[in-house]
Amino acid sequence: MGFWKTHPNLWPVTSLTLGSVTYTQAQLLSILNSPSGGDASLILAKQLIAALLNQANGSTPAPICAVLDDANSLLDGCHLPCHIMPPSAKGQAMIADGATLEAYNEDLLSPGCTP
């Protein structure tokens, strides 16, 4: 996630769809640079943005296909930030998906793939 935050000129795309909302690069950078503030949707969105950028840059999504689908489903219908409390059932699901995406983004699920 940190790589994409600090290298927007290397982004392979200029917009991404999270859930059912399409965000511009400027909006995505704002999300990446905002404090999570106890909002599970932001915790998930930051890792999802990085994973989607990694995928657009050529990393294989194979280890996380189901998680990508689930993450987008969890964010469907809201415009970030969604103000989801981490202890809620939806918040816990978002945090779990975020943790899996973080492992992917840190090259723990697909060694050898780099942005």
Single pTM value for the model: 0.93
Tokens of 10: 């290397």
What residue numbers bound the domain in which 40 lies? 2-105
Q: What pLDDT does 114 receive?
A: 52
CB 93, CB 70: distance < 8 Å = yes
110 falls within a domain: no
- Segment 63-72, tens digit of pLDDT: 999 999 999 9
Look at residue 111 and tell me whether its pLDDT is greater than 80: no
Q: Percent of the chain at pLDDT above 70?
A: 95
Look at residue 1 and tell me whether its pLDDT is greater than 60: yes
112 falls within a domain: no
Look at residue 105 and tell me whether its pLDDT is greater than 80: yes
Number of structural domains found in the chain: 1
CB 67, CB 101: distance < 8 Å = yes
Q: What is the mean pLDDT of the chain?
A: 94
